[in-house]
Chains A and B, each alone.
Chain A
Amino acid sequence: MKVSLFITCLVDMFYADAGKDMVEVLERQGCELSFPKGQVCCGQPAYNSGYVENSKSAMKNMIKTFENAEYVVTPSGSCATMFKLYPDVFKDDLNWLPRAQELADKTYEFTQFLVNVLQVENVGAKLTGKATYHPSCHMTRLLGASEEPKKLLNQVEGLEMIPLPNAHNCCGFGGTFSVKMGDISEQMVDEKVNSAIVTEADYLIGADCGCLMNIGGRAERVGKPIRVMHIAQVLNSNE
C-alpha cells in the first residue's frame, strides 16, 4: 500500500522521533512510504485564529502537494481534522472544492489508518509500565477517532492502561489560545497534569503533538514526574 506522509510542522521540527517511529510501524505493516516534499503547514494556526483568507494559500499548497497520493497519513488528530475541513473552507470555490474534497477523503490520522484501513490492532509493541491516555479534542470529537488509539494501546505487551480522570476536558492548548489566553490555559493544563499524576502512570500518551507539547512542557516546568509520549513512539517500542 502506498502511503504519503503528512508529517506536520511540529513533528518535522520538534518531534522527529515520533515521525521516525511512525515510519517504522507503517513499514512493518508493509506500507510503501513517501514524503511529498512541498508540504509545509496545514494552515491551522491562522485558520483557528480567524484568518481564513491568510490560511488559504497554505491549504492550496497542501492540496497540490498531495494531489497524487493514494493515502495520506498523519501523526496528528488535529492536522487530519484540518484537512477534513478544507472542503468547507473552499465550499464556494468550484475550482478548488473537488480537489479539497479528494484530499479530505484520502486523509487518515495514524491510528485510524492502522485500525480501519490496515485492520491491525496488535502491531507487536512492548512497553513495560503504567500508562494513561489523553484523548485530544479535535482527534476525538471532530475527527471521531476515539476508539482506535485505545484498541492499539490495549494490545501493547506489558503496558497497563489506567483511565485518566476527566479525560474529556481539553488540556488548554488550542493553538494560539495557549499564548493569547495564557491565564486560562495555565489552569487547564495544570488540571490535566494533575489528573495524569494521580493515576500514578509512568507515561502520558497522546496522539497530537500540540497537546503533548503543552502537557509535557508544563509538567516539566512544574517538576511533575511523568513521561509524555506520542502514540507512535509507544507502538514502536520494544522494551
Chain B
Amino acid sequence: MAMKFSKKNFTDRTKENISDDFMRQAVASAQERLHGRRLDAAEELGSWEEWRSHGEEIRQHVLENLDFYLHQLSENVAERGGHVFFAKTAEEASDYVRDVIKKKDGKKVVKSKSMVTEEINLNAVLEEAGCEVIETDLGEYILQVDDHDPPSHIVAPALHKNREQIREVFEKKLDYHKTSKPEELALHAREKLRQEFLDADIGITGCNFAIAETGSISLVTNEGNARLVSALPKTQITVMGMERVVPSFEEFEVLVSLLTRSAVGQKLTSYVTALTGTRDEGDVDGPEEFHLVIVDNGRSEILGTEFQSVLQCIRCAACVNVCPVYRHIGGHSYGSIYSGPIGAVLSPLLGGYDDFKELPFASTLCGACTDACPVKIPLHELLHTHRRIIVEEEGRSPISERLAMKAFGIGAASNPLYSMGSKVASTAMKPLTKNDRISKGPGPLKDWTDLREFPAVGNTRFRDWFYDQKGGK
C-alpha cells in the first residue's frame, strides 16, 4: 500500500465513512477506552508534564543532530555485522529490500507491523517480484486477509472493524467456523501464522527506535510476533524512518515510557525488544544477515522548516485517539495511511498538497491533539501553518473565499464600515427572521442554516445599548 490509497476525493470519502455505523461505533468505543487508560497511566507515572518536556527535549536534540546520530548508528550497526542502506526515496528503499531478498533467493517473507513499509509500498513491490509476504501483526494480518483493506489507525490498523466483521473475514478467507470471541479469533490467526514463521526465509520489521550508541533497533509490541519475525528467518531486514533514532538506552527508556502510556495506557507493553547486529557464535537464534534500511522519503526536506517538530513524532496515536474529527470520519477518510491529526500534518508534507490539501482544514483547531501529544508537537499550530501556506503562498483557495477574506480585512479593521455593515445586515435579515431565528439563510449563510438555526440579529446591538445607557467612549 502506498501512502495514498484512495482515488476518491475527500468529501466523498468522508460522506461514505460517516454513514458507516459499525466503523463509528468501533472508533468511538476505542477512543473512550483509550482516553481513560492514557490519563490513568500518565497520572500513575506522576509529573507527566515534566516527562513530556523531557521527551520533547530528547526528540529535538536528536533532530538538531540527526546527521551525527545517523552516522553513529550506521557505524555501530556495521561493526556488529549489519548492512546499512540510506534510501532517499520510497522506490530506492523498496528496491533495495527486493534486491536483498532476490540475492538470498528468498521466497517467503514474514513481516511485523511497520507503517514505514506501507509508506514505501513494500508489499506490492515484493509481491510483484514473486515473493509471498505475510503480515504477522494481528491487525495487519486481518487487513491483508481482507483483500488489503487499508489501515485506519497508525497503532491499531484494523480499528475500524468490529469483532463480528473480523469473524466474517476469517470465515470467508480462512475457513474459520468459531465465534467472534477475540481469543478464538486470535488463536486461529496464531495457528495459521505459526507455520509461516517456521517456513519463512526473510523477516522484515519496522523499528520504534534505533539506538545510536549501540547500533540496536527496538520493537515495542504486545503480541510477540515481532520477536519471531526477527528470531527465526535467516535474513532480517529492518526498515526505519530516518528520524527514529535515539542517542542511547537512557533516552530510549524515557521515550518508551511515553510511548506505551500514550499509545495503550500501559506502563510497558508485553514485549520490548532490542536487537543488536547478527547472530553471534553460540547464539541459538537471530538472523545470520541483517540489513537496516533508513528511509528519507521527504523527511530531510522537513528538517529546518517550520514543520520540523512533526519529526519528533513517536507514532503513539494519542492524538488520533482524542481527535473529535477522526472520531466521526474514521481513518479511511484521510486517504493516507497516516490518519488523524498527525496524518493531517504529515501526509501533505510527505505526499504533497495536490493529494492532501483538504486534510489541514478537516480540523476545528480544538487543540486536543496538541494536549495529548507526549512529545509536545504543536499539532494544531502545524495544521494552521499548512492552512496559511495553502491559501497565502500556494493560492489554492477558491477565489470567492479569497475575495471575502480580503473584504474582511478591510471591514473588520474599520468601525464605520462595520457599523454600517451590521446595520444593513440587521435590516436585510429582518424578513428572514421568524421567532428570533433564521431557518433558511441566503448566500453563505445557507451552509449554516442547512444544519442549524441561525440567531436573529438583535434589534439593538450591544454597543448601541451601552452608549445609550452609559454614554459614549
Instruction: Check if A174 sits within 8 Å of B365, measured CB to CB.
Output: yes
Residue of A nearest to B406 (CB): A54
Query: For residues 17 through 37 of chain A, which have their beta carbon under 8 Å from a beta carbon of chain B?
Result: 17, 19-20, 23, 33-37
Bound Cα distance A52, B393 (Å): 11
Is there a chain A Cβ closer than 8 Å to B59's Cβ?
no
Residues of chain A with a CB closer than 8 A to B454's CB: 213, 217
Instruction: Check if B364 sits within 8 Å of A177, measured CB to CB.
Output: yes
Tell me whether A45 and B408 are in contact in the complex, defined as CB-CB below 8 angstroms, given that A13-B422, A16-B460, A184-B18 are known contacts.
yes
Instruction: Check if A179 sits within 8 Å of B473, measured CB to CB.
Output: no
Interface of A is mostly: helix
Q: How far is the CB of B212 from chain A (nearest CB, A)?
A: 34
Query: For residues 429 through 473 of chain B, which have their beta carbon under 8 Å from a beta carbon of chain A?
Result: 437, 439, 444, 447-448, 450-458, 460-463, 465-467, 470, 472-473
Neighbour of B461 across the interface among A12, A46, A166, CB < 8 A: A12
Instruction: Check if A57 sits within 8 Å of B455, measured CB to CB.
Output: no
* Tally of chain A residues near chain B (CB < 8 A): 70
Q: How far is the CB of B391 from chain A (nearest CB, A)?
A: 4
Instruction: Check if A53 sits within 8 Å of B324, measured CB to CB.
Output: no
Is there a chain A Cβ closer than 8 Å to B26's Cβ?
no
Instruction: Check if A57 sits within 8 Å of B368, measured CB to CB.
Output: no
Instruction: Check if B368 sits within 8 Å of A12, measured CB to CB.
Output: no
Bound Cα distance A46, B412 (Å): 10
Q: How far is the CB of A38 from chain B (nearest CB, A)?
A: 5
Instruction: Check if A16 sits within 8 Å of B453, measured CB to CB.
Output: no
Is there a chain A Cβ closer than 8 Å to B387's Cβ?
yes
Tell me whether A46 and B405 are in contact in the complex, defined as CB-CB below 8 angstroms, given that A15-B455, A20-B465, A35-B463 are known contacts.
yes
Instruction: Check if B365 sits within 8 Å of A169, measured CB to CB.
Output: no
Residues of chain A with a CB closer than 8 A to B462's CB: 7, 11-13, 16, 19-20
Bound Cα distance A55, B456 (Å): 26
Is there a chain A Cβ closer than 8 Å to B14's Cβ?
yes
Residues of chain A with a CB closer than 8 A to B410's CB: 57
Residues of chain A with a CB closer than 8 A to B386's CB: 50
Query: For residues 53 through 70 of chain A, which have their beta carbon under 8 Å from a beta carbon of chain B?
Result: 53-58, 60-61
Instruction: Check if B14 sits within 8 Å of A183, measured CB to CB.
Output: yes
Is there a chain B Cβ closer than 8 Å to A181's Cβ?
yes
Residue of B nearest to A18 (CB): B462
Instruction: Check if A54 sits within 8 Å of B463, measured CB to CB.
Output: no
Neighbour of A40 across the interface among B15, B418, B451, B472, CB < 8 A: B418
Instruction: Check if B451 sits within 8 Å of A182, measured CB to CB.
Output: yes
Q: How far is the CB of B453 from chain A (nearest CB, A)?
A: 4
Is there a chain A Cβ closer than 8 Å to B32's Cβ?
yes
Neighbour of A39 across the interface among B324, B415, B458, CB < 8 A: B415
Q: List 26 A-B pairs, Cβ < 8 Å.
A: A5-B466, A7-B463, A11-B462, A12-B462, A14-B456, A20-B462, A37-B472, A38-B415, A45-B408, A46-B405, A48-B365, A49-B405, A50-B384, A55-B412, A169-B327, A170-B324, A174-B364, A174-B365, A177-B364, A182-B450, A188-B324, A188-B328, A214-B452, A216-B455, A217-B437, A218-B453
Given A58-B412, A173-B364, A184-B329, 20 more pairs with CB closer than 8 A: A13-B457, A14-B455, A19-B462, A23-B466, A36-B473, A51-B388, A51-B408, A55-B412, A57-B409, A57-B412, A170-B366, A177-B363, A177-B364, A181-B362, A183-B11, A188-B364, A191-B328, A217-B451, A218-B453, A220-B452
Q: Which residues of A contact B (CB under 8 A)?
A: 5, 7, 11-17, 19-20, 23, 33-41, 43, 45-46, 48-58, 60-61, 137-138, 141-142, 166, 168-170, 172-175, 177-189, 191, 213-214, 216-218, 220-221
